[in-house]
A and B are shown apart, each in its own frame.
Chain A
């Protein structure tokens, strides 16, 4: 039997639904006249399992899992890693430093742009955005340890 994309997707939803029900153990289901906080989550999780099984049952209509293209996977992984690092540093280094570093990293490491152009572009957009939020929109941005 060929493993299909919908076999994987359907199974993932079945597992997720089951995990929700397992995690809802301490939530009271209540009674029909006074439904508890676990009432709707358990119903929705059960529906998710049913729909997941329906997807698995009709999986032969989907493409083979081996044919799912992951050619953009490297790009996605690198963007994810750089963005995750920026999020981790955002409240530590503040908006300006973090965003300049993130944009430079994306342009140089992924897009292979020249470092000088990347730095100039990153500084331009980050400083403009910072000024727009801080002074025009009066919305405070996270500050760096150097207070800017």
Chain B
């Protein structure tokens, strides 16, 4: 514990360096804008701005990109409350009661509760991350290739199980991602795979063109500008403080949302989205006045907003401690670290102390910055919403092209982005969630290498995965989850995931 505190102090000395504070601020500001603007999610925001970090060192880059991630969770609540348009998916639940509060003249109070709840949950998440990640990394150092293979398999199965679309759809997307991840030179044999004589494909398909195409361009293609309209309710600064009763009603939902969100954040899947849905359902079930939900219940804002922020922080635990992304955003952040020559994983804590602890400490600073940014500047962010979408999306396309090109100065990458944009458009038409595809793309090389190393170690004996206790336990968890899903599939039962998908679809409309 003492070592952790000393390391955290070292992290603060890194995070509080003026240049790092500046990049944390920039990330939080851009993240808030990304969250506020409908049509740009945190994933496309981070992917598009990744090349901007090339001139920075790894610590500055990850501080800025993470700021965009958790900043977008804060910003997403603004459009949800004031316009009933979720700035990003995890804010869908905030739309219901947040906008109902706004219509009753309590827009300022709803925004304040959302911001304070997000801050408390974010800070709670960082404290637990500080405590949990280093010992987890120490345990992970004992992992060999069989354990990593089993861990990646369980991660994929968890992702499929937690997905709000069907298991088959998620596994299809993950398989497609794994296929894309295997394009290029095979590291172990030197064979070119599916590169079609294009030298640029020898290094494989990058995460940036795929993520920007699927989530940036794909979103634009399926969003005609006349669809993005809405009335903005602009609160005055003096109306921002909630009443004593509203504070009282929000305390417990913030606490429960923080805990629930963090736990779900660690589990693979679209954690921040699921956590807000589950928190909303939990608050409604526990409430003495469930009939108020949908009509401006304070708990309906405080719970989901806290949960999605805590989940964003929780998602960093497996990324930092194990080097395994639990969702597409941590996957892109991992890609960003690798671009800067830093491999996320158990060695990160020991070999790149500045990056790890500087990043952790910057999250304490960043959460405080976001609270300061989101409340007084809310009217400024609201004015951004008045920029017509028809002027905004050409700008986003420009950044997509520039962002992807600047990573490798490769026009082939930009064409890949274009193809992925069309794929993303088609996938949306057929109700596929493209997020598992990005995750599959990132873990494909790690999975392939660890699987092949395991088989070489055991001379082709697959029992290696069953003779080692950690690998066996992880595979048993996978089997259990698959059995649960298969049971629901065969019995044609509507389980909690189906109900979640229905609620999500209903609110998105």
Contacts and interface: CB of A to CB of B under 8 A. Distances in A.
Contacts of B405: 90, 142
Given A33-B455, A87-B415, A113-B390, A76 B222 contact: yes
Given A39-B452, A72-B224, A48 B175 contact: yes
Contacts of B168: 51, 54-55, 58
A21 B52 CA distance: 39
Given A35-B452, A44-B182, A79 B176 contact: no
B178 interface: yes
B234 to A, nearest CB: 25
Nearest to A100: B398
A103 B401 contact: no
Interface string B401-413: 1100110000100
Nearest to B187: A37
Given A84-B418, A87-B414, A137-B52, A102 B402 contact: no
A8 to B, nearest CB: 7
Nearest to A68: B429
B169 to A, nearest CB: 7
Given A23-B194, A55-B169, A102 B398 contact: yes
A44 B169 CA distance: 15
Contacts of A131: none
B145 to A, nearest CB: 12
A111 B401 contact: no
Contacts of A80: 221, 418, 421-422
B3 interface: no
B432 A9 contact: yes
B245 interface: no
B431 interface: yes
A28 B191 contact: yes
A80 B425 CA distance: 11
A83 B431 contact: no
A90 B401 contact: yes
Contacts of A13: 172, 176
B422 A44 contact: no
A119 interface: no
Contacts of B188: 37
A79 B221 contact: yes
A97 interface: no
Interface in B168-194: 168-169, 171-172, 175-176, 178-179, 182, 186, 188-189, 191, 193-194
Nearest to B428: A72
Interface residues of A, number: 66
A9 to B, nearest CB: 4
B430 A141 contact: no
B222 A139 contact: no
Given A83-B397, A87-B415, A103-B394, A5 B430 contact: yes
B179 A20 contact: yes
B144 to A, nearest CB: 17
B153 to A, nearest CB: 12
A35 B455 contact: yes
Given A90-B401, A103-B398, A37 B172 contact: no
Residue among B188, B194, B430, B458 having the largest count of chain A Cβ atoms under 10 Å: B430
Contacts of A148: none
Nearest to A65: B430
Interface string A89-116: 0110001000100110011001101000
Interface in B436-451: 447-448, 451
B459 interface: yes
Contacts of A33: 455-456, 458-460
Interface in B69-120: none
B54 interface: yes
Interface in A1-46: 5-6, 8-9, 13, 16, 20, 23-24, 27-28, 31-41, 44-45
Contact of A87 (B179, B189, B411, B455): B411
A64 interface: no
Contacts of A28: 189, 191
A31 B172 contact: no
A79 B397 contact: yes
B430 A6 contact: yes
Interface string A53-90: 01100100010000011101001100110011011001
A111 B225 contact: yes
Contact of B193 (A6, A27, A79, A90): A27
Given A44-B179, A68-B430, A79-B220, 8 more contacts: A20-B179, A20-B194, A28-B189, A37-B191, A70-B429, A106-B393, A125-B395, A129-B398
18 contacts: A5-B430, A24-B193, A32-B462, A33-B460, A35-B452, A35-B455, A36-B191, A38-B193, A41-B179, A47-B175, A55-B172, A80-B221, A86-B397, A90-B405, A99-B401, A103-B398, A106-B394, A125-B395
Q: Which 3 A-B pairs have the closest CB atoms?
A: A33-B460, A32-B460, A37-B186
